[in-house]
A and B are shown apart, each in its own frame.
Chain A
């Protein structure tokens, strides 16, 4: 019908098949076991929602209004008890071994009951993602051991990700802005480690986390080439907590200020620095850009799932209200105009779920969980006894070659177009999911009238919670530009993104 070479040429034409048919490619390669895992974790999340989240989320939100300094330890302890903080940590590091390919579905379920409590769990995996993006097996092993110990002993040990600074939001998140931006968290190389000075703000779960995975910079004027990723433990001398922000929503998940004043971080807690990156074939700045792409591709997929969860919460609230409220002598749900709106809301949920599912598949093919998603790796880790895996990794992690091997696979051998794909789909999932959250929440308020604006009817809380999702992990404005850069601008060589030309 058509020669193989001709077929390839057509498929490589824009829009490229590989860019737009992610799931079709991924499903054939993905281990089948992931399907049953995803079903199981959705059930686990629903059980948690029924038993813990739904009964408690509104009183908790009210409590946070009343006392903004309250920390929702009860929920963290309960999540820890159920193994949520170890669930997606690979078995070789002592975790539950569930594939990260399923985490977005898990987060959607949690967010469909409460955006704040979903964040209490989800933010930990932001920290985990950043830690894993360094592929430093020694540090990963040590930090994960603490998390697993915390699970076993009933003392939650969770991770935070710390990038944002008082004068640098977007600047700290995009390699393009780092050198012209206003970054101020300085890392000075001293014998045996780094000395850190500076502040981080808006750090989700900061006050409740044990380990903080942070970025600091040895040269603030050329930060893009001088980034240091460090793991800092709560209690380290020179590291203190500042204020907790007074947020509009997602109140149960504190946004914290982290203050570093001559804080010494030993070399053993350096995840990756310029010296490590220099050992790779790629220029240091490119490696840093790839680390960012891996982190954002994974985390923005998760935020997209949060958005879908809140869009679903709004839809479910509006539907329940319409099913029990009579207007003009008949149930609202039987008014044609209302049916159209509810159908629109349902559509928003389904379509935005497809977006994050595609992004998740992209991560499985080329992103953070690419290696763990390879069938031999997946089944080896699944069926090898945990003890053997842990012993092996503890032994192997002592040798630098394991870290170097994985860094070479992920940073040097990953094609640019694959990086574009994961980062582009991450941004798309984030924008689509979080916009759906706001759209549905607004519609819910409009459909529910005076009930919609009551805190005890939840819809207004969903709207408050949703709004944050359009802001963090890069505002949706920045994500649209990133989507353009990664997916749209490629075939147009004269297109410039994030440059003076855009002024």
Chain B
């Protein structure tokens, strides 16, 4: 991430870098073999000991209470080497965010206090989807003041590892969905084998089937979407930081290879076609860094249009990452396609990260529809950004200032 003068942030960045270089990088290929190889429990234990799953959790709930900038910095560093751990941290944080948004602090505190090991602390969540885009959510039936969930939920990330899950379900057909905390170790939840996924192999999902599984309602019935949006608002920037980390890892490996590989009697770096490719990759990586830095600033200062800046930055970076990682393989030629190098994993991981929080195109449509006053929640969005012209102008000015500031910091 754009270098900061903030000493605390520098320390965090250094610690995260050392963790990813020393703990994550050496086992990357082996860990990626999951579910056909062992799960990297030892890495998770170390991450847990370092409080990597507590980054954004408030201090009074046993967390570290860090803000968005620290979170993004850590995820950026981790995902330069292995995004699977990033995916686990992200999913858990998303579940925590939804619980916090629903006012379920007591439940979170209880989970934190009772956790002896990583699985006790982790909360599974369907982080690859926006529940609005799932037509058949589980149903929740109320009985004697308790709720019982039935039905299937595919791609429940961490569902095979975590002790509990935050699950979206409808209390009645067609009703807005609500969130429930469900104990996954109860016999009334059937979980599939880990779903084989494109990327983030060591951040596995399962297909879950609930058969009258007891669930604790989080917050107010039917308010699931607003809780999801609350988490989505900031955590999409964390997902973008994951993409940016993948981009950096890919760029670094491409440059290192082009510096040593010789073809046609000259180093790859001396081919101007390769220079052009590396230039494109470098520009996109710097742009990603600058966008994240500026968006973090907007979040921290709670600027008027911070949500818009976060969405725009995230959509841009995640799309850019999927193109960059493809060039990252091209730069290495045949070996870039092989598992001995990190490029092929980054290629897959970038695609998986783009799928976090829902369909890429639907995220883009929802982004513009809030300006256009279209669709569900338009009223809410209209308050957020009432007039596009004014905001573009003001936002543009602020963005320019922010980029200049970021570039100055980078130059230093």
Contacts and interface: CB of A to CB of B under 8 A. Distances in A.
B277 A171 contact: no
A464 B339 CA distance: 12
Contact of A246 (B154, B273, B338, B362): B338
Residue from the set A62, A464, A480 with the largest chain B CB neighbour count within 10 Å:
A464
Interface string B12-26: 000000000000000
A123 to B, nearest CB: 15
Residue from the set B264, B277, B334, B336 with the largest chain A CB neighbour count within 10 Å:
B264
B322 A171 contact: no
A325 B263 contact: no
Residue from the set A171, A177, A453, A502 with the largest chain B CB neighbour count within 10 Å:
A453
B387 to A, nearest CB: 24
Given A246-B339, A463-B351, A176 B264 contact: yes
A327 B195 contact: no
B147 interface: no
Contact of B344 (A66, A174, A248, A453): A248
Given A177-B265, A449-B355, A449-B362, A503 B270 contact: yes
A327 B330 contact: no
A447 B361 contact: yes
Interface stretch (B165-173, B196-204, B298-306): B196-204
Contact of B339 (A66, A177, A247, A467): A247
B118 interface: no
Nearest to B322: A442
B100 to A, nearest CB: 24
A65 interface: yes
Interface in B319-369: 322, 326, 329-330, 333-334, 336-340, 344, 347-348, 351-352, 354-355, 358-362, 365
Nearest to A327: B133
A328 interface: yes
Contact of B329 (A67, A456, A467, A502): A467
Contacts of B198: 445, 452-455, 460, 463-464
A245 B265 contact: no
Residue from the set A167, A202, A471 with the largest chain B CB neighbour count within 10 Å:
A471
B355 A450 contact: yes
Interface string B115-150: 000000000001011001101000000000000000
Nearest to A168: B263
A503 B272 contact: yes
A337 interface: yes
A454 B330 contact: no
A477 B264 contact: no
Contacts of B354: 445-446
Contact of A438 (B126, B326, B352, B376): B326
A456 B194 CA distance: 12
B127 to A, nearest CB: 9
Contact of A449 (B128, B339, B340, B348): B128
A164 B266 contact: no
B210 to A, nearest CB: 18
B352 A453 contact: yes
Nearest to A68: B339
Contact of B334 (A177, A326, A471): A471
Contacts of B362: 327, 449
Given A328-B375, A460-B351, A449 B333 contact: no
A449 B205 CA distance: 14
A381 interface: no
Contacts of B197: 453-455, 460
B333 A169 contact: yes
A470 B323 CA distance: 13
A26 interface: no
A475 interface: yes
A244 to B, nearest CB: 11
A201 B338 CA distance: 12
A242 B344 CA distance: 22
A269 B264 CA distance: 30
Interface string A27-48: 0000000000000000000000
Contacts of A245: 338
A241 interface: no
A368 to B, nearest CB: 25
Nearest to B126: A450
A182 interface: yes
A291 to B, nearest CB: 19
A453 B199 contact: yes
A331 to B, nearest CB: 10
Contacts of B262: 167, 182
Nearest to A325: B135
Nearest to B351: A445
A442 B330 CA distance: 16
A449 B128 CA distance: 8
A456 B207 CA distance: 12
Nearest to A455: B196
Given A177-B263, A248-B344, A327-B362, A450 B154 contact: yes
Interface in B146-204: 154-155, 195-199
Given A248-B338, A453-B198, A445 B361 contact: no
Nearest to A481: B273
14 contacts: A167-B262, A176-B264, A180-B264, A247-B338, A326-B135, A341-B361, A449-B360, A453-B199, A454-B198, A455-B197, A460-B197, A467-B337, A475-B330, A477-B330
Interface of B: 36, 126, 128-129, 132-133, 135, 154-155, 195-199, 262-266, 270-274, 277, 322, 326, 329-330, 333-334, 336-340, 344, 347-348, 351-352, 354-355, 358-362, 365, 375-376
Interface of A: 62, 65-67, 164, 167-171, 174, 176-177, 180-182, 201-202, 245-249, 325-328, 337-338, 341, 438, 442, 445-450, 452-456, 460, 463-464, 467-468, 470-472, 475-477, 480-481, 498, 502-503
Give 8 closest A-B pairs by Cβ, nearest first: A180-B265, A460-B198, A449-B359, A450-B128, A177-B264, A248-B344, A455-B196, A246-B339
